[in-house]
């Protein structure tokens, strides 16, 4: 079951979502986490920390935990 990440505007960056999910403590750590290829978006590997996530997008870490972006 996916855990919800609340959306406050039209989008959230992948690095911000990684931080909100608790996968990183700081924005810098979140960027490194994403660039290392440790997260997937909607089933595809994504290495751009600035990638915009919108409502309905799903993010998965390398252990299989899943988050969904919710408006």
Which residue from 31, 29, 53 is spatially nearest to 42, judged by alpha carbons? 53
Q: What pLDDT shows up at residue 43?
A: 97
> Tens of pLDDT along the chain (71 residues)?
899 999 999 999 999 999 999 999 999 999 999 999 999 999 999 999 999 999 999 999 999 999 999 99
Residue spans per domain, the chain: 3-70
Work out the number of other CB atoms within 10 angstroms of the CB of residue 2. 13
**Cβ contact 18:55 at 8 Å:** no
Q: What tens digit of pLDDT does each residue of 3-18 get?
A: 999 999 999 999 999 9
Instruction: State which H helix or E strand residue 53 sits in.
Output: strand 52-53
pTM: 0.94
Q: What angle (nearest 5°) sits at the alpha carbon of residue 7, between those of residues 11 and 61?
A: 85
The fourth-level CATH superfamily of domain 3-70 is RNA-binding S4 domain (3.10.290.10)
């Amino acid at each position: 079951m996916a855990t919800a990440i609340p959306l406050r505007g039209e989008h959230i960056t992948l690095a911000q979502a990684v931080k909100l999910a608790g996968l990183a403590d700081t924005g810098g750590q979140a960027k490194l986490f994403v660039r290392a290829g440790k997260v997937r978006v909607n089933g595809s590997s994504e290495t751009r920390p600035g990638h915009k996530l919108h409502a309905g997008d799903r993010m998965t870490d390398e252990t299989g935990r899943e988050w969904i972006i919710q408006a």
